[in-house]
Amino acid sequence: MDYMERYSEWLAKANEDATISEELLAVKGDNDAIYDRFYTTLKFGTAGLRGVLGAGTNRMNIYVVRQATQGLANYIKNNIGSGAVAITHDSRINSDVFMNEAARVLAASGLKVYITTELQPTPVLSYLVRNLGCVAGIMVTASHNPAKYNGYKVYGSDGCQMTDVAAGMVYDEIQNLDMFDDIKLCDFDEAIKNGSIEYVADSVYDSYVAEVEKRQVNIDACKGSDLNIVYTPLNGAGNKLVRRVLGEIGVENLHIVKEQELPDGNFTTCPFPNPELKEALQKGLELCEEVKADLLLATDPDSDRVSIAARRNDGTYRLYTGNEIGAMLTEYILSSRKALGNLPEKPVVVKTIVTTKIIKAICDKYGCEMRDCLTGFKYIGEIILGLEEKGEEDRFVFGFEESCGYLSGSYVRDKDAVVASQLICEMAAYYKKQGKSLVDVIDGIYAEYGHYLNTTLDFYFEGATGMEKMKNILDTLRANAPASIAGEKVVAISDYLTHEAKDLLTGAVEHIDLPTSNVLAYTTESGNCAIVRPSGTEPKIKIYITAIAKNFDDAHAVTDKIAADMKGYLE
């Protein structure tokens, strides 16, 4: 079926949602608009679905959600047999609608469904799957994407995002379904009455909060610290639980950014609600100036990521990268637990391959094993699972990725901005009692371990040809690797698609024992590095740059040279 045939089918059958019907009629006769909506289907993968809201097979809407959910239901019935599925959602447009539609499909397929009465953070979904003994979970979110996006992430019974193999099997099931004729649906209200769809009890959230609070390192550090905090949930799901946890651990001076306090899928004051971006933090920084806060805390819409800014001695604010927050937390947790005598034997810290190399130096100081994994928190979750299967889950101390995702403890298997917010505030309070700000802390880390500058560049490839162009760029780089970057000879290339790490000086080739991923890493003779990775959720290629130097002026100069060279390969 070509794109115009799909469009005609939708005109005839997609009549349950008035906004979809109106959009279909509005693009009638506009070939480009029709093509963009129907030339392909949103592909289900390990990151689930993610796309622009609207009409068509290449958009997020109730029909695409129903088809994906029917594919998931068929996968469960054919491979597991039966079981329950937990579903929740964030604040995005239609997130609650998509949750209810998914629940209708699953219940009609004979599966028990747990849903939430209101939006919840992504880590809560991971916790629900584990706590309620579910075989799968669905989180309706597009994380930090602009307001026009929504998405749908699927989790396995371990609380991790679905594996490559399982996602491939679900995708195959989806491909065998007619989007309209093969979908089972039940009446939502009737399903609530007969118990096939059930709301999660408040006691479950209480137990989640209890697990979060067990991850305190220096208990009562916040009490009496006079720590002054501004918090913004960026109109997302973190508002209630983050505030509850901070209140219960002793944070007394907490100011909320009112414009970003309540759920708002339009993200009116932060059109790109990514806490890594200064623009998203502007309202929070303004309130910090007003109340002279020590710390700005910002969680993204589904509250699995958190970023911060800390007050300098001159009253201005320093924004931190995800790598810097992770480095401070790693140092804080390891040093404190060692001092307290409760650091486990053979502790493990996990980071992704694109995350700062300074973590290795910190781990070495405290006799901690550091493990690398592919980008994506599910890979950190898999390492935790491997430890759990050996009865060694207590060895897992901390895990994080450079994009502001952190986890302490094994109670969930995804990054958790609630526990990260708790640890960040506890860390800030702990150091404040010693007369140190977080600015002092990060400066001390660089003074001790060296100046590691980590920079991420994003290159977008929108439209129908974007994904193909991205593939061609990676294929070209793989076939014609750069001999030098920033005036330095490339001495090592790691290809995570072929699982080969080549030492270009000796010719030695080592096997990379990680799952397959279309990622290329280039290391120069002085240890600087550029990693090229296409995003799994957006039409963009990311380049992760590491520059190591005696000071940040030199590191910035090296970064600029690496960026200029790598940009040339993407144009």
| Active-site residue list | 143
Judge whether 459 and 540 are in contact, CB under 8 Å. yes
CA 422 to chain CA mean position, Å: 18
| CA–CA dist 416, 539 (Å, integer) | 25
Q: Is the separation of the CB atoms in 454 and 356 below 8 Å?
A: yes
Angle separating helix axes 164-175 and 62-79, nearest 10 degrees: 110
Residues 6+ apart with CB under 8 A from 286: none
Residue 458: exposed, middle, or buried by beta-carbon count in 10 A (0-12, 13-18, 19+)? exposed
What's the half-sphere exposure (Cβ side, CA atoms, 13 Å) at 34? 18
Can you say whether the dihedral through the CA atoms of 333, 334, 335, 337 is positive or negative? Answer: positive
- Considering only the C-alpha atoms of the chain, give the largest distance between any 2 of them, rounded to a whole number of Å: 71
Burial of 1 by CB count in 10 Å (0-12 exposed, 13-18 middle, 19+ buried)? Answer: exposed
The residues, any chain, with a CB within 8 Å of residue 440's CB and separated by 6 or more, are 431
Work out the angle between the directed axes of helices 417-432 and 239-248 (0-180°, nearest 10): 40
DSSP assignment, residue 94?
Answer: T
Q: How many CA atoms lie within 13 A of 185 on its CB side?
A: 17
207 close to 214: Cβ distance less than 8 angstroms? no
Q: Amino acid letter at 448?
A: E
Amino acid (1-letter code) at residue 555 = A
Cα(358)–Cα(362) distance, rounded to whole angstroms? 6
Secondary structure (3-state) at 52: strand
* Cβ-Cβ contacts under 8 Å for 310 (sequence gap 6 or more): 294, 295, 296, 317, 318, 320, 428, 437, 438, 439
> Which token pair is 148?
């026009």
